[in-house]
Amino acid sequence: MKRFLSLTGRTVKWLLIAVLAVEVLSFAVITTSNWIIYGNLREGPKAVYDPYTLFLMENGVWPTANCEVVPNHPELSRTIWFFGGSTMRASSAPYERSIPSLVAKALNERDKPCVFNCMNFGVNSFNSLLEIKYLQKQFLEYIIRPNLVVFYDGANDANYFAVQKDPYAHEGKERAQGVIESYYKSGVGLLKPLNAAYFASFTRELVQKFLYTATPLDPNSPELAKFIEQVVARYDFAERLSACYGAKFLLFLQPLYWVETAPPADTTVAAKEQELILGRKTFPHVRGNFNTVYAALEKALAGKPYFVNLRDALNGRAAPAYTADGVHNTDTGREGIVAAMLPHIRDRLPCNLAPEPGGHQ
């Protein structure tokens, strides 16, 4: 019996050591990859809890440059709300180089006598689900009303669905769900801190990311069909909600390195990006998984009056448009995106002297 207990004790001890070793190794892989891709040990800046949206960025609404207002002539004022993830927020670049700042600059330079005030409500890791909740929050709480609401999406919806295979996929879903449901979900739930640690584990995160890069999505899966149905319903709702407040609505499906249907026309740019983009050959299913979700979104959204597809908007770029992950943009990329957006924004917000609905302060 003593030998059995001693053997059991040693086995448990070495199992615990092995689990801790794997977790430490996973921590090292995750943080190192974050440093290589984002220049930071963490993926994105600090987030804080928000009762409407689950989380927001600690440093609040990102500032926008080049905005103008005419206090004594509200009929000339146009306000645009921009929603999206980190590509919209662009917090790693000077705020003057964000998409809303560049849009404001272009509009205020040319579209006189109207003046344009652009609000950057981009939040790192947000997808369509969290943006819808944020839109509701801002209509409830934000004092400056919009004439136009812009959503800029695609990458995060594709990424989180590919990882989680869930119609309600979003950043932090399983961690939040695990904390809320774990107590009654299983016997392990009695040990709530242990269960929460499981969902927050670096090992679990690393395994999920590996499976995402190594496993192709099934384009005919019922989960994907339900996900696309939910996403389209969110955008339809955003259009109706915006209209209730006198605002128009636009959805731009963002360009990504992984979903372009042809390489850049400039072969020098194509060669530079092939050297720059990480995982292009190592993780062959990344491109396929992005394209599976994009193809489904394109098909479901085709014909919607608010939908604009920017998949190939950067094909004519004269310099690399993407950073190492093939998602986030360089200054050249953001400038090309803004150039593609502007005709659609001007079409929804023509500069005339007739008062526009919304936009009151």
Q: Which domains does the chain have, with CATH numbers?
A: 1-43 (no CATH), 48-171+216-348 (3.40.50.1110)
pLDDT digits (tens, 9 = 90+) for 244-270: 999 999 999 999 999 999 889 899 999
Closest among 130, 131, 135 to 148, alpha carbons compared: 135
The more confident residue out of 176 and 61 is: 61
What's the CA gap between 118 and 357, in Å, rounded? 16
Task: Please identify which residue in the block is written with the tokens 């009303």.
Answer: 145
pLDDT band at 80 (very low <50, low <70, confident <90, very high): very high
Res 187: pLDDT: 67
What's the CA gap between 313 and 154, in Å, rounded? 14
Res 29: pLDDT: 72
Q: Read off the pTM.
A: 0.86
pLDDT digits (tens, 9 = 90+) for 120-147: 999 999 999 999 999 999 999 999 999 9
Average pLDDT over residues 148-160: 96
Angle at which helix 155-164 crosses helix 285-301, to 10 degrees, equals 120
Task: Please identify which residue in the block is written with the tokens 């006189």.
Answer: 112
- Contacts of 337-344 with CB under 8 Å at 24 or more apart are 337/99, 337/254, 337/255, 337/310, 337/313, 338/99, 338/102, 338/103, 338/106, 340/310, 340/313, 340/314, 341/99, 341/103, 341/150, 341/252, 341/308, 341/310, 342/103, 342/106, 342/107, 344/250, 344/252, 344/308
The mean-pLDDT minimum among 24-38, 130-144, 198-212 falls in 24-38
Range with top average pLDDT, 12-21, 59-68, 188-197, 274-283: 59-68
Helix%, strand%, coil% for the chain, nearest 5:
55, 10, 35
E strand spans, the chain: 47-50, 54-57, 77-84, 115-120, 148-153, 248-253, 307-309
